[in-house]
A and B are shown apart, each in its own frame.
Chain A
Amino acid sequence: MTVVLAVLEQRDGVLRKISYEVVTGAQRLGGTVEAVVCAAGPVQGTDLVGKYGADKVVTLTNAAFAKYAPEGYAQALAERVKQGRYQAVVFGASATGKDLAPRVAAKLGVGVTADITDLAAAGAAIVVTRPVYAGKALLKVKVGSQPAVLSLRPSVFTPVERPKGGTPDTVPVTVPAGRVTVREVKAAPAGTLDVAEAQVIISGGRGLKEPANFKVLEELAQAFGGRAAVGASRAVVDAGWRAHADQVGQTGKTVSPSLYIAVGISGAIQHLAGMRTSKVIVAINKDKDAPIFKIADYGVVGDLFEIVPKLTEEIRKLHG
């Protein structure tokens, strides 16, 4: 019987959305899904994990786990894996998952197959697909390691309700004091959503002409009522107009929102690579020959300073 360990993620004692994606993805391998989370105490949201298909939910507790403790988490998870007989250990490829998965994998003597967009069991092995060259190609690989350590690209595995037991269990764990410690987390200003997690992304490029003009994109994002984030092309990040955290593209973030609106972005290959897996793409650009229109589902040609405020007005009406 296949048993898969799904590693959940919490921050400040609340389960993060990617956790449900990880449980959903883990089920694609068939068999039993055991979910596990490292925390200092009870985690809000673990009661919902059963609804998305976890047979069991284990909270590994330690006083040092209130904040992310890379070494402690890795040790506790690696020990858990060694005790069980898991065919696969599945992480989310979030900022934390990208940091944690290799640490756990190395303790198990294997590598991570990272940033997966599709997976299936193939006999005793697991076959996965992952975008490479920033999504310009898809690599299909057979993972033969025991266990297979996998990480799933965020926003790809939409959580599906498939109720299972979700039997809760809490296991206190002992780990040595970590050498690497998170001193504090400086939160982004309230209300700002990370582009990697937003359902709607409105990205701006050089066509915005100057940094202050990003205000028109921020207003459009606000009209979506907390579901949207403002992204940026490499050109404007390199020019210092926007933070690197907002950059979409091969040397920034690769994103897959439901709706991606590219404003004043011509569509350099490295930018297209970062957003081509968006479900719906809208391009607004004054140059009708801009490459962005080749991959956009819907294009509007013209002056963004006229088009975007009008769009903001229409979206406000819908959400008003």
Chain B
Amino acid sequence: MKIAVCIKRVPDSETRVKIAADGKSLDEAGVKFVMNPYDEFAVEEGLRRGEVTVLSLGPAAAQETIRTALAMGADRGILLQTDKIPADSFETARIIAAELKTASWDLIFFGRMAIDDYSHQVGPLVAELLGLPCVTAVSHLDIDGTTGVAEREIEGGIEVVEFPLPAVLTADKGLNEPRYPALKGIMAAKKKPLEVKPVQPGPGSLEVIALTPPPDRKEGKIVGEGAAAVGELVRLLREEAKVL
């Protein structure tokens, strides 16, 4: 099967967020960047099912993110290079869809969402732009010929969804256990093809006004130690916090 996996370079989940001087973006100094964790499930699923092309929209440094996927075993990479990832996900989707349209794919994988902007939409937007069926947040997948059955988690249950191939799927945790790149893979990745294509995202229709730290929570208190403190805790929850 011919498979495209779209991945994103994001700050590691343990990053402490510092706001840049412009008051609108992340101060990237000292920030460790990684492959978006949900995209790891997407890459792994692709590797188990066919020949994988990895695609990423991002700055030159996103080549490292693509190399990680190549080290896991992907066959080739494409970087749609821009210094500025659009704030408007529709712009991102439009550029990725235009690239994907230049070839034919049996499956196109994304992560369920990126852990930086939390928009959870580029996968389904791309699917609509390409006119392909789409299932989001897939945590279990069976494919038989050109029919797939996917499971996705909803509040209080699991939806079992049937779809025809080709299709766009977004991967959730639980779909598989992503492999770690082995040394041999890391060496091999250096020789795999990685094409860099400059792109020019449009302005989109979102204007960033400000990026701010969340409001501080007011200082809490230690109620006490051990089971003896429970009575006082319950009293505070009832009378002060009024949540019981």
Contact of A101 among B121, B153, B154 (CB under 8 A): B121
Interface members, chain B 1-38 (any A CB < 8 Å)? 11, 13-17, 19, 26, 37-38
Q: Given the interface contacts A138-B211, A302-B225, does A102 sit within 8 Å of B115 by beta carbon? A: no
The chain B residue sitting closest to A144, CB to CB, is B205
Residues of A within 8 A of B14 (CB): 268-270
The stretch from B55-63, B160-168, B185-193 touching chain A is B160-168
A127 at the interface (CB under 8 A from B): yes
Residues of B within 8 A of A277 (CB): 214
The chain A residue sitting closest to B172, CB to CB, is A244
Interface string of A70-111 (1 = CB under 8 A from B): 110010000000000000000000111011011101110111
Interface members, chain A 289-320 (any B CB < 8 Å)? 293-303, 306-307, 309-311, 314-315, 318
Q: Shortest CB–CB separation between residue B69 and chain A, in angstroms?
A: 18
A251 lies within 8 A of B90 (CB) = no
Q: Given the interface contacts A179-B133, A197-B155, does A141 sit within 8 Å of B87 by beta carbon? A: yes
Interface members, chain B 181-220 (any A CB < 8 Å)? 204-214, 217-218, 220
The stretch from A48-56, A57-65, A112-120, A165-173 touching chain B is A112-120
A66 at the interface (CB under 8 A from B): no
A307 lies within 8 A of B155 (CB) = no
Contact of A188 among B17, B156, B226 (CB under 8 A): B156
Interface string of A226-237 (1 = CB under 8 A from B): 000000000000
The chain B residue sitting closest to A224, CB to CB, is B244
Q: Shortest CB–CB separation between residue A24 and chain B, in angstroms?
A: 19
B85 at the interface (CB under 8 A from A): no
Q: Shortest CB–CB separation between residue B114 and chain A, in angstroms?
A: 10
The chain A residue sitting closest to B161, CB to CB, is A182
A185 lies within 8 A of B173 (CB) = no
Residues of A within 8 A of B209 (CB): 127, 140-142
A187 lies within 8 A of B161 (CB) = no
Residues of B within 8 A of A143 (CB): 205-206
Q: Given the interface contacts A70-B134, A102-B125, does A244 sit within 8 Å of B159 by beta carbon? A: no
A144 lies within 8 A of B207 (CB) = yes
B233 lies within 8 A of A114 (CB) = no
B78 at the interface (CB under 8 A from A): no
Question: How many residues from A make CB contacts under 8 Å with B?
Answer: 95
B229 lies within 8 A of A276 (CB) = no
B143 at the interface (CB under 8 A from A): no
Residues of B within 8 A of A43 (CB): none
B237 at the interface (CB under 8 A from A): yes
Contact of A280 among B17, B208, B237 (CB under 8 A): B237
Q: Given the interface contacts A99-B136, A139-B211, A280-B243, does A132 sit within 8 Å of B156 by beta carbon? A: no
Question: How many residues from B make CB contacts under 8 Å with A?
Answer: 86
B152 at the interface (CB under 8 A from A): yes
Q: Shortest CB–CB separation between residue B1 and chain A, in angstroms?
A: 18
Residues of B within 8 A of A210 (CB): none
A288 lies within 8 A of B160 (CB) = no
A68 at the interface (CB under 8 A from B): yes
B211 lies within 8 A of A137 (CB) = yes
Contact of A298 among B153, B167, B236 (CB under 8 A): B236
Residues of B within 8 A of A137 (CB): 17, 19, 26, 211-214
A105 lies within 8 A of B121 (CB) = yes
Give bound CA distance, A142 to B17, whole Å.
22
A139 lies within 8 A of B208 (CB) = yes
A181 at the interface (CB under 8 A from B): yes
A193 at the interface (CB under 8 A from B): yes
Q: Shortest CB–CB separation between residue A135 and chain B, in angstroms?
A: 6
The chain A residue sitting closest to B235, CB to CB, is A314
Q: Shortest CB–CB separation between residue B45 and chain A, in angstroms?
A: 15
A44 at the interface (CB under 8 A from B): no
Residues of B within 8 A of A135 (CB): 214
A133 lies within 8 A of B11 (CB) = yes
A103 lies within 8 A of B124 (CB) = yes
A302 lies within 8 A of B220 (CB) = no
Q: Shortest CB–CB separation between residue B140 and chain A, in angstroms?
A: 11
Interface members, chain B 120-178 (any A CB < 8 Å)? 120-121, 123-125, 127-129, 133-137, 139, 149, 151-164, 167, 172-174
The chain A residue sitting closest to B238, CB to CB, is A318
B64 at the interface (CB under 8 A from A): no
A residues with a Cβ closer than 8 A to B are 68, 70-71, 74, 94-96, 98-99, 101-103, 105-107, 109-115, 127, 130-145, 179-188, 192-194, 196-197, 200, 244-245, 247, 249-252, 254, 258-259, 268-270, 273, 276-277, 279-282, 288, 293-303, 306-307, 309-311, 314-315, 318
6 contacts between A and B (CB under 8 A): A94-B155, A136-B15, A144-B207, A298-B220, A298-B241, A299-B221
Which 6 A-B pairs rank lowest in CB-CB distance, beginning with the nearest?
Answer: A111-B90, A106-B128, A102-B121, A302-B226, A145-B205, A102-B124
Known pairs A102-B124, A183-B149; list 20 more (Cβ under 8 Å): A95-B154, A99-B124, A103-B128, A105-B90, A106-B90, A106-B127, A113-B206, A132-B211, A133-B115, A138-B214, A140-B209, A186-B158, A244-B173, A244-B174, A270-B14, A280-B241, A299-B221, A307-B227, A318-B238, A318-B244
